[in-house]
Structure 1
Amino acid sequence: MFKTLLLAVDVNAPEGAARSAEAAFSMARAEGATLHLLNVVPDTGMAIVGASMAADSMKNALAAAKSELERWAKANVPDDVSHHVHVAEGTVYDQIIRTSRTLDIDAIIVGAHRPELKDYLIGPNAARVARHATQSVFVVR
């Protein structure tokens, strides 16, 4: 049913990925699926902020994020789970959805923290992915 899975991993809070990662590993094994790991580096936002940064700052940030995600994968992804590492730049929920389309992903796995009052008004990344993705989305708490 699901041959390609996308797991969003925040390399800045790897302990938060533990439950969603276990769910993704279990699904990948059960389905014989390929697991794609994605870390999103937030963009600089306003142009004035980006202009004040060194020209290669984002390039360095993306390289560091990829290196950290590869380290996380080596330490956490079981040997029997086929996986690929991806890093994107931009808004987290937007890049999860874009990457899932680009890679023709069948299902997305995202972690979610306990909702706070602001989440009901604004909506966390997991809620936005669940609302806007065309694929099945599994939200793991």
Structure 2
Amino acid sequence: MFTKIIVPVDISTLDKGADIFRKAASLLDEGGKIILLHVVEEVPSYLAIDMPADLIANATDEAQDKLVKLRDDTGIDAEIELRSGPPAREILACAKERGADLIIIASHRPDFSNYLLGSTADRVVRHAVCSVLVRR
């Protein structure tokens, strides 16, 4: 069905990440590739002054460890990619750069704040140039 699937995982909700990772494996063509992606959000400079200098590095290391554990626990072959920046922008950039034909993203139930600001999944769906599967 699909030859290159981007699976963005929020490590704070790893159970949803595992669910969409398994779904990606079921939709992948033989010889295809899954990219497990985590985006570490940047801290605004006016806040970064009061934070430990290694905060982002620690967050990146933690994300790497959790994604490797997820990959190992499921036994599903995948490449791991870490990025920093606004999540929707980085997910879309990864999909474009990698030539993905599907993004599978987890979503939470929308609440009022989603109608004012929009969630990451909403932004990815609106701006992706490939197919997007949103899993609740």
| TM-score normalised to structure 1 length | 0.85
Where does the alignment leave 5 or more consecutive residues of structure 1 unmatched? Answer: none
Counterpart-to-counterpart distance in 2, 1:77 and 1:131? 32
Q: CA deviation at 1:76?
A: 2.2
Q: CA deviation at 1:94?
A: 1.0
SS state of the match for residue 127, structure 1? Answer: helix
Counterpart-to-counterpart distance in 2, 1:115 and 1:77? 32
Alignment of 1:62-141 (within 5 A): 62-78=60-76, 82-141=77-136
Counterpart-to-counterpart distance in 2, 1:91 and 1:133? 15
Q: CA deviation at 1:57?
A: 2.9
Where does the alignment leave 5 or more consecutive residues of structure 2 unmatched? Answer: none
Partner of 1:17: 17
Partner of 2:36: 37
Partner of 1:5: 5
Q: Do 2:102 and 2:131's aligned partners in 1 also have CA atoms closer than 8 Å?
A: yes
Q: CA deviation at 1:38?
A: 0.4
Aligned length: 135
Q: CA deviation at 1:130?
A: 0.5
SS state of the match for residue 3, structure 1? Answer: strand
Partner of 1:51: 49
SS state of the match for residue 11, structure 2? Answer: coil
Q: Do 1:37 and 1:85's aligned partners in 2 also have CA atoms closer than 8 Å?
A: yes
Counterpart-to-counterpart distance in 2, 1:51 and 1:76? 39
Percent identity over paired residues: 29
* CA RMSD between the two structures: 1.7
Counterpart-to-counterpart distance in 2, 1:89 and 1:47? 14
Indicate the larger mover: 10-19 or 82-91. Answer: 10-19
- Quickly say closer, same or farther: Cα 1:117–1:77, change in 2 above 3 A: farther
Q: CA deviation at 1:77?
A: 4.1
Q: Do 2:18 and 2:70's aligned partners in 1 also have CA atoms closer than 8 Å?
A: no
Residue by residue, what CA displacement relative to the aligned partner does 1:11-61 show, whole Å, maximum 9, x if unpaired? 121112243223211112xx22210000111110x2122233344332232
